[in-house]
Amino acid sequence: AQSVTQLDSQVPVFEEAPVELRCNYSSSVSVYLFWYVQYPNQGLQLLLKYLSGSTLVESINGFEAEFNKSQTSFHLRKPSVHISDTAEYFCAVSPGGGADGLTFGKGTHLIIQP
């Protein structure tokens, strides 16, 4: 079984400041890692994913996450946030192979302050 911990339920950040959303996981098998974003009144959208290869993965809108196997972490970062980044961010894992459903963290509400 897998579990995901997002320690911060809410992160307030000023616009144009950097941000890091933390995600730690535990699993007895190799995993695939994902970050999903949920804007108000919308469904979850995939932000980025780690399947294999380079441990640093990037999204098209400036977010990046680094897989750290020794620390079992997959923290999400962005060097400069915008008001439009205000949303709920979910970290999720699935067993390697991707055939199973996802195990989600509780989510982190990113609040961008002007």
Partner 1 sequence: GAVVSQHPSWVICKSGTSVKIECRSLDFQATTMFWYRQFPKQSLMLMATSNEGSKATYEQGVEKDKFLINHASLTLSTLTVTSAHPEDSSFYICSARATGTGQFEQYFGPGTRLTVT
Least separation in angstroms between CB 104 and partner 1? 4
Task: Return the C-alpha torsion angle 40, 45, 47, 49, nearest 10.
Answer: 140
CB nearer to partner 1: give 31 or 81.
31
- CA–CA distance from 65 to each of 41, 45, 100 (Å)? 25, 16, 22
CB nearer to partner 1: give 17 or 46.
46
Least separation in angstroms between CB 23 and partner 1? 12
Least separation in angstroms between CB 114 and partner 1? 25
Cα 60 to its chain centre, rounded Å, is: 14
Footprint of partner 1 on this chain (CB under 8 A)?
4, 9, 32, 36, 41-46, 49, 51, 90, 94, 98-107
